């Protein structure tokens, strides 16, 4: 019997992990595998072509620490009513993972899987508020508008110092946009400097400027990067991700049975 799986995320807003969760759920649904999304919030930022269960978010706390704690508590209460319906809770962030692990450790017959998308280092409340406010003021755009925005640019500058994957790279490549990114391990898993991206020194403004200057001034390099990007994108489809997740879920169920 196939495992009963739910994808769990802490938000319904257009954050990277949430976008990943919805896209994966839709790809699984398209393959005939029903994997509901459980999320904290009142409505998603877009229509979702997969089953969804929304857990009411708590009132907004005064501090970041309080908001995180309240979110974990609220999601734990919401999941508690659903644990008999699932064998695996596939969590997508620290809040959903903490809520699910609490239930597991209290005796719920579930396996908790965690995908780590990125790690944020918040050291001050001011930085937390700045990030939150910038997201709220950006608002939500449609997939077509996002594609058009990429197409209107000359290159994607993506100087991250740490990433779980970097979905924006594939979004840019799908719009035939040259990519200038940091030379970090996760990007080297699927990018090659000079072939499908320009990889620059981590935290090095001069290296980033040189990479962007090369893309802007060297037409041959731009065309080489665009052509290389077109070869990268088809390797990472949501259908392929769905197939791999199905194998992982089945292996987890098999190991538990054994």
Q: Name the residue ranges covered by the structural domains of the chain.
A: 5-123, 142-235
Mean pLDDT of the chain: 90
Structural contact between residues 198 and 208, judged by C-beta atoms closer than 8 angstroms: no
Asked if residue 31 lies in contact with residue 239, where contact means CB atoms within 8 angstroms, the answer is yes
Please tell me whether the overall predicted TM-score, pTM, comes out greater than 0.85 for this model.
Answer: no
Residue 34's contacts (CB-CB under 8 Å, 6 or more residues apart) are 28, 50, 51
Q: Which CATH number fits domain 5-123: 3.40.630.40, 3.40.50.2000, 3.40.30.10, 1.20.1050.10?
A: 3.40.50.2000
Tokens encoding 20 = 């990943």
* 142-235 and 5-123 share a CATH fold: yes
pLDDT at 228: 97
Fold of 142-235: Rossmann fold (3.40.50)
If we measure between CA atoms, which residue out of 181, 185, 210, 206 comes closest to residue 196?
A: 181
User: What mean pLDDT is predicted for residues 144-154?
Assistant: 88
The 10s digit of each residue's pLDDT in 192-247 is 999 999 999 999 999 999 999 999 999 999 999 999 999 999 999 999 999 999 99
* Better pLDDT: 48 or 124: 48
């Amino acid at each position: 019997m196939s495992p009963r799986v739910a994808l769990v995320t802490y938000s319904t807003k257009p954050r990277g992990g949430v976008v990943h969760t919805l896209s994966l759920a839709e790809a699984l649904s398209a393959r005939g595998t029903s994997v509901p999304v459980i999320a904290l919030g009142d409505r998603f930022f877009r229509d979702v072509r997969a089953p969804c269960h929304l857990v009411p978010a708590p009132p907004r706390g005064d501090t970041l620490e309080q908001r995180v704690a309240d979110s974990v508590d609220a999601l734990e209460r919401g999941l508690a009513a659903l644990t008999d319906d699932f064998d695996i809770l596939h969590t997508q962030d620290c809040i959903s993972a903490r809520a699910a692990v609490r239930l597991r450790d209290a005796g719920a017959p579930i396996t908790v899987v965690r995908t780590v998308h990125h790690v944020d280092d918040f050291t001050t409340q001011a930085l937390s508020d700045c990030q939150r406010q910038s997201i709220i003021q950006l608002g939500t755009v449609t997939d077509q508008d996002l594609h058009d925005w990429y197409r209107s640019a000359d290159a994607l500058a993506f100087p991250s110092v740490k990433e779980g994957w970097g979905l924006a790279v594939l979004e840019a490549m799908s719009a035939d946009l040259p990519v200038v990114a940091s030379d970090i391990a996760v990007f080297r898993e699927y990018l090659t400097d000079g072939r499908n991206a320009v990889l620059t020194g981590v935290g090095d403004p001069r290296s980033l400027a040189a990479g962007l200057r090369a893309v802007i001034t060297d037409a041959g390099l731009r065309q080489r990067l665009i052509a290389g990007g077109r070869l990268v994108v088809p390797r990472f489809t949501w259908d392929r991700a769905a197939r791999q997740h199905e194998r992982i879920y089945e292996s987890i169920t098999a190991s538990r049975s054994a």
